[in-house]
Amino acid sequence: MSIILDKVSYLYGKDTSYEIMALNDINLKIDDNEFIGIIGHTGSGKSTLTQHLNGLLKATSGHIYVDGEDIYDDDYDMKKLRGKVGLVFQYPEHQLFETTVFEDVCFGPKNQGLDKKTVELRAFEALYNVGLPDDLYYSSPFELSGGQKRRVAIAGVLAMKPKVLILDEPTAGLDPAGRDEIFDLLKKMQEELEMTIVLVSHSMEDVANYVKRIIVMDKGHIMLNGNPREVFKYYKELERIGLAAPQVTYLMHELKARNLDVDVDVTTVEEAKKSILKALGR
């Protein structure tokens, strides 16, 4: 499922003294089965951008096309869009409210008007896909760990069978082990369920390790758009807007400066290891 943004701009507080240009003339295409990371400093427009993808915010100007249909046409069904494009907010566990995990995951598909059997089958499938132990299905969601709550929140969106899953800082507040678990889960889901995943993250290491394309936002514009190797070549430019490359990028540039013939464009520890061993003749 493709999503195309054509000259999309968005103003907060339009026609008031507090007017702010949050997005400015954004042109972007998202294709089937992509794993995309959106990065940018606070206020760069990254969360505003994601909220346009499922119609939570409406562009001040421009158009958004989903599967060739303009979502701003008068007769376009926004409910259909939100069934295709699921959005998981930052700290999604704060949205859990049912008495059991299973009931919470049933909530989304139930609101789609599906019959009871289909709703329950979707809930079981979603909980299985996020790897939650089945002995927790009928526990209170408020008794779970932070990482388990995050899995339940993701399952609640998955149960609606979206083709695109958008996550805003999906590992915020989790410890390193919890972050690894969530990112491993997202990678597995993206590959096995053949869905598009778009995530907003501040962790350069995580973005470099998992996503295939990075979109860098700055002051409402797309500053960079490419695979991790292409984007992190511009680490000095990223520093100028308050971001940074993965630590391995700085290490490889330092080794290169010390006359070790390494690949400075690697973005992961495993790639760095191979390049260093090769440069050392091992």
- What 3-state DSSP class applies to 67? coil
Q: Which residue has the tokens 């940018």?
A: 40
- Whether 281 and 262 have beta carbons less than 8 Å apart is answered as no
Residue 248 is predicted with a pLDDT of 93
pLDDT band at 172 (very low <50, low <70, confident <90, very high): confident
Q: Which residue has the tokens 């989790």?
A: 174
The span from the CA of 110 to the CA of 90, in Å, is: 23
Residue 90 is predicted with a pLDDT of 80
190-245 pLDDT, tens per residue?
999 889 999 998 778 888 889 999 999 999 999 999 999 999 999 999 999 999 88
The span from the CA of 181 to the CA of 175, in Å, is: 10
Residue 224 backbone dihedrals phi, psi, to 5 degrees: -140, 150
Q: For the chain, give every domain's residue range.
A: 3-245
Residue 132 is predicted with a pLDDT of 92
* Residue 15 pLDDT greater than 90, yes or no: no
Q: What percent of the chain has pLDDT over 70?
A: 100
Residue 260 is predicted with a pLDDT of 95
DSSP conformation class of 12:
E
* Residue 166 pLDDT greater than 90, yes or no: yes
109 Cβ contact partners less than 8 Å away, ≥ 6 residues apart: 118, 119, 122, 123, 159, 160, 161
Structure tokens at 69: 């249909």
Q: pTM, whole model, 2 decimals?
A: 0.90
**Nearest alpha carbon to residue 264 among 242, 236, 239:** 236
Residue/partner pairs of 142-145 with CB below 8 Å, 24 or more apart:
142/96, 144/101, 145/178
pLDDT band at 16 (very low <50, low <70, confident <90, very high): confident
List C-alpha distances in Å: 49 to 66, 92, 138, 229. 15, 18, 36, 23
Residue by residue, DSSP assigns 145-203 as -HHHHHHHHHHHHHTT--SEEEEESTTTT--HHHHHHHHHHHHHHHHHTT-EEEEE-S-
Question: Which homologous superfamily does the CATH classification assign to the domain defined by 3-245?
Answer: P-loop containing nucleotide triphosphate hydrolases (3.40.50.300)
Residue 92 is predicted with a pLDDT of 72
89-145 pLDDT, tens per residue?
887 777 788 999 999 999 999 988 899 999 999 999 999 999 999 999 999 999 998
50-85 pLDDT, tens per residue?
999 999 999 999 999 999 999 999 999 998 898 899
Continuous segment of H or E residues that includes residue 212: none
